[in-house]
Structure 1
Amino acid sequence: MFNTLVASSSPDTEATSSGIGALGLNWKAFIFQLITFAIVVWFLNKFVVKNLFKVIDARQKEIEAGLKRSKKASLELENAGANAEKILKEARAQAEDLIHTANNEAASLIKAVEEKAAKKSERIVSDARAQLNVEVEKARVALKKENAKLIALATEKVISEKMDSAKDQQLISEALK
């Protein structure tokens, strides 16, 4: 169709041989092409370019939103890492405190048990010594009585007379002095 319009306007060969026509331009065809170009530009601008820019703008906004979310997520990740490190440090400190406290309590408990055992052993030893002293004293008293009897028997055999208890006590007292 375009060729038909151009062909129908070519009988004016006289105008084409001078001026712009000498350059090989046909005004009618040029104006028709200019109008067609303007219509194509208008059509593209009206339906394609505006929609294309809308799509590009929407895509750009999505990309920017994605970048913002990505930055936010990376900041949250860094914060989470820092928080996790902080929590781990606190947990380590608490664990060290608990261990230190447990060691101190264990040491004090051991010391208390050792002191209690030492006191108990001292008490047992002192009780044993006291009981031993009582037994020794009983043995001394029994030994004195036995010695007194033996001395009385020996004296009786030597003197060959029986002694009464008053005389016996007197001789024993004198012998012990």
Structure 2
Amino acid sequence: MNLNLTFLGQMISFAILVIFTLKFIWPPINAAIEERQRKIAEGLAAADNSQKTLAEAEEKANEELKIARSKANEIIESAHQRANQIIESAKNEAIEEGARQKAIIDADIAASANKAREDLRKQVSQLAVNGAEKLIRREINPETHKALLDELAAQL
């Protein structure tokens, strides 16, 4: 055997192997590698996008939280104002009720005073009639008359 012929056979076998590998084996392997690289790149891009989206969502959530706190503070302030209005209204109603009660009591006092005056007038007129009756029954004597008038004045 000739060494050159063996070497030439090995070269031809190697060339056939290389051609076969380049034609049938290498393209699917290369396609799988490229597909894998593409998926990794898409995954990294998706991770970056999700981080950006997460940051935007956190920022939006913070804004919404600020808005919600602002609205809550407005609601609380409105509730305080309404409570103050209710208290003020109740206070005004109490003042009006007190004034109405006072007016009723003043009217009762005035009515009682008028009744007392009427009773006093009736008593005074009764005393005057009684005094006049006593004067008429007695004889008209200036000293007796003066004593009766003094007694009548003392009774008034």
Q: Please, what TM-score do these two structures have when normalized by structure 2? A: 0.78
Of 78, 91, 106, which residue of structure 1 is paired with 2:55? Answer: 78
Residue 16 of structure 2 is aligned to residue 30 of structure 1: no
1:93 is displaced (CA, Å) by 1.2
Aligned mates of 1:132, 1:57 — CA distance in 2: 109
Q: Distance in 1 between matches of 2:66 and 2:106?
A: 59
In the alignment, which residue of structure 1 is the partner of 2:137?
A: 161
In structure 1, what is the Cα distance between the partners aligned to 2:27 and 2:19?
11
How far is the alpha carbon of 1:85 from its aligned partner?
2.2
Q: Which of the numbers 13, 25, 44 marks the counterpart of 1:67?
A: 44
Question: Unmatched 5+ residue regions in structure 2?
Answer: 139-148
Q: Distance in 2 between matches of 1:90 and 1:72?
A: 26
Deviates more, 1:93-102 or 1:73-82: 73-82
Q: In the TM superposition, what is the alpha-carbon distance from 1:155 to its structure 2 partner?
A: 4.9
The one-letter code matched in structure 2 to 1:113 is A
4+ aligned runs moved over 6 Å, structure 1: none
- Greater Cα radius of gyration, structure 1 or 2: 1
From 121, 130, 144, the equivalent of 2:107 is 130
Give 1:43 shift.
1.2
User: Shift of the alpha carbon at 1:144?
Assistant: 1.8
1:55 partner letter: A
Choose from 27, 32, 47 the match for 1:55: 32
> Larger % of helix: which?
2
Amino acid of the residue matched to residue 33 of structure 2? I
* 1:148 alignment partner in structure 2: 125
Greater mean alpha carbon deviation, residues 77-86 or residues 44-53: 77-86
TM-score, normalised with respect to structure 1: 0.70
- The number of aligned residues is 143
Structure-1 separation of matches of 2:96 and 2:28:
99
Greater relative CO, 1 or 2 (CA 8 Å, sep 6+): 2
CA distance, structure 1, for counterparts of residue 9 and residue 73 of structure 2: 91
CA shift for structure 1 position 97: 0.4
Q: For residue 134 of structure 1, what is the amino acid of its counterpart?
A: A
Paired with 2:137 and 2:49, the residues of 1 have a C-alpha distance of: 127
Give 1:42's aligned amino acid.
I
Instruction: Name 1:16's counterpart in structure 2.
Output: none
**Structure 1 position 84, deviation (Å):** 2.0
